[in-house]
């Protein structure tokens, strides 16, 4: 039971859900959804930051995306989600090719 809960907080569930919330926040122009996406990526990002600094920096990009959406700069907000997409995709490719 505890292992499942920890896996949900730190694993693929949290990363993919945070990506979905961040994209939905930009598409629907809701900054709260982007903030939820950034908060959801904090734990996996901090856990994976021992491998690369990019994992620790990704939540700041999502917070920046929420701020850009709040200032009505939606093109910048969409570009600030790209690092999260790149990091999650690279991690998925790395895990699946093992």
pLDDT tens, per residue, the chain with 98 residues: 777 767 666 778 888 999 999 999 999 999 999 999 999 998 888 888 888 888 888 889 999 999 999 999 999 999 999 999 999 999 889 988 98
Return the DSSP state at 49: T
Query: Distances in Å between the alpha carbon of 28 and those of 17, 40, 72?
Result: 16, 18, 12
pLDDT at residue 55, as a whole number: 83
User: Residue 44 has which token pair?
Assistant: 């996996």
Q: What are phi and psi of 97, to 5 degrees?
A: -90, 5
This prediction has a pTM of 0.84
Give CA–CA dist 17/15, Å, rounded: 6
Environment class of residue 77 by beta-carbon count within 10 Å: exposed (0-12), middle (13-18) or buried (19+)? buried
Q: What pLDDT does residue 22 have?
A: 93
pLDDT for the residue 11: 79
């Amino acid at each position: 039971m505890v292992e499942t809960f920890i896996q949900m907080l730190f694993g693929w569930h949290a990363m993919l859900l945070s990506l979905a919330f961040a994209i939905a926040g930009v598409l629907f122009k809701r900054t709260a959804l982007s903030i939820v996406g950034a908060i959801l990526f904090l734990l996996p990002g901090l856990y994976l930051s021992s491998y690369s600094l990019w994992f620790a920096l990704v939540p700041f990009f999502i917070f920046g995306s929420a701020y850009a959406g709040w200032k009505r700069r939606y093109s910048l907000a969409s570009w600030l989600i790209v690092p999260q997409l790149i990091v999650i995709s690279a991690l998925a490719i790395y895990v699946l090719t093992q």
